[in-house]
Structure 1
């Protein structure tokens, strides 16, 4: 094990200053070298750590929530704890996310309504909303330019070449995550199934295939109500084959996709693959949603926004985060742009 690591470092002249984008080029090579080693040894050489940075000396949100419940703190005490937690974040958006996570952890532990309400710090929420609103305006004005590697046609071409008889690579995993607009936490549990007509409020007669097992669900079962299936891959059976292909490989190749005791999926290995493209795993779902809206040919902005929500398994009609994703700009070779140019030339001739 140590020899493998040392050889790689010497051969490629790696130092602590070597950028992630360069390291990412050797992911598959080092994986092959370590393939015969046991899992425990590999994790010693390349330790898997939870995502995100935490200030030295600060308890985890999970531990803070446990302390609140165990000690039955008063609302005033909880509010002070929440203020310290949110204010110590690098920015109000991160602070709001911490407080949201704290409420979720309290809910998981059966905390009462007053305890959860005491975690709300209005000025942090207000500032975070202002920042998000400014970002939304900027995204609407300028759009988003994703790496060429993840434009619609290249992703489709790579998916067409996938061989289900072979184990998927991390690159295959990334493309399937884009195709199904998945968070890393969705991969292990997402299900795509056909449903019969139902009187349930979630049922939409326009759809017969639905998704369950998505990560953001408030139900105790963790399954969530069925949400209509919509993705880059129009054929739900084919889409399910891709999903099953990836899920079957989790025990052998993608163990990092399993949630830890805190319910967190480690995304470091995915981000290492994506580093050379300058993005992280939280962008994949956004790219996939935009691709799905293009493939399903939304006729106007409202329709395209609805398609993006469906692709992300969000409730249509509710103000959801997909509105803050920003829209991918058309590449220069986009057919839509070509058609627009052709129409302009025709108009010139007519004039």
Structure 2
């Protein structure tokens, strides 16, 4: 009722000038004292009419609490589908979701109607609700990398509640649960690097996101394409040839293939890729994306030798001594690789696995980081395109296919 709302407002000197984060600290007291819908509605009217709080601020102070059975809610974007929420389990979770709604609207550009539908619950039993979200990227009020987000959490000394809401919004703004889970994993790594407390790191874990991500990964790994290669393309064979090439003689097709494995290179990148002290540039990227230098990572750890081999191939192409396999309609290189049951894009994936092996990955997380660097993935892109999973059956020279060890990885393109 309005008297209770007045008492709490005056007790804590609450004003419309206060931030949403500050107001959210008093939500639990409002809900504990306003025990039914009638009292909550009266209090909301008092806050809006008597104290001039905005609708957004009122929804934080007194969030909707509609009961009902658990319901699965899906967000649909193109062919992606993410199960993002069920009914809140307790008051604290309800408060966190109200803060998350505001973040999704204000920072990620999702409309209020979509957010309300996303988090609404029904009293008529369990059912699915699909919420359509535009495929166009949202315009955020402030572009922020996950590393910058982690720094902000600690610099502003956000509470556990606010960290959890921010992390939940980060995950839910992704195109699917697997992408959301990847974002949260990176956020935890950044927080750990910055020395965040155990409680802060644990606050970024969400069982519903993790469970759905695991389902997506499991389904896509079952459909993953498998790459096998002959002895001519084992790590030992490729490295032996790379070390032996005389750069004063013209390269052949085998040398071209070996350099493509070494640099995880696409045919279209052969004439544009450059290795400099500042990093690797000229790689394929989305239209309009800046040519930001990527970290050099390769099965050939000697960066100068890798640069010489790349220049050797590029000079042969520019002089006309070798054709450009990146030109549309080019088939001669495909015919060469066909004798080994390979195609050009296989070389890129094989090279990523070889980079992991030669750089001595200590664990799986380290292995995927190395593979991503070798493939020149954007380090600030945490959308895991699971439809592009492939399996490279890694084996040493003279080992049988049955002795191969599968390595799962994905490529952005």
Q: TM-score, normalised by structure 2?
A: 0.41
Higher helix share: 1
Higher strand share: 2
- Report which of the two structures shows the higher radius of gyration computed on alpha carbons: 2
Q: TM-score, normalised by structure 1?
A: 0.48
Larger relative contact order (CA 8 Å, sep ≥ 6): 1
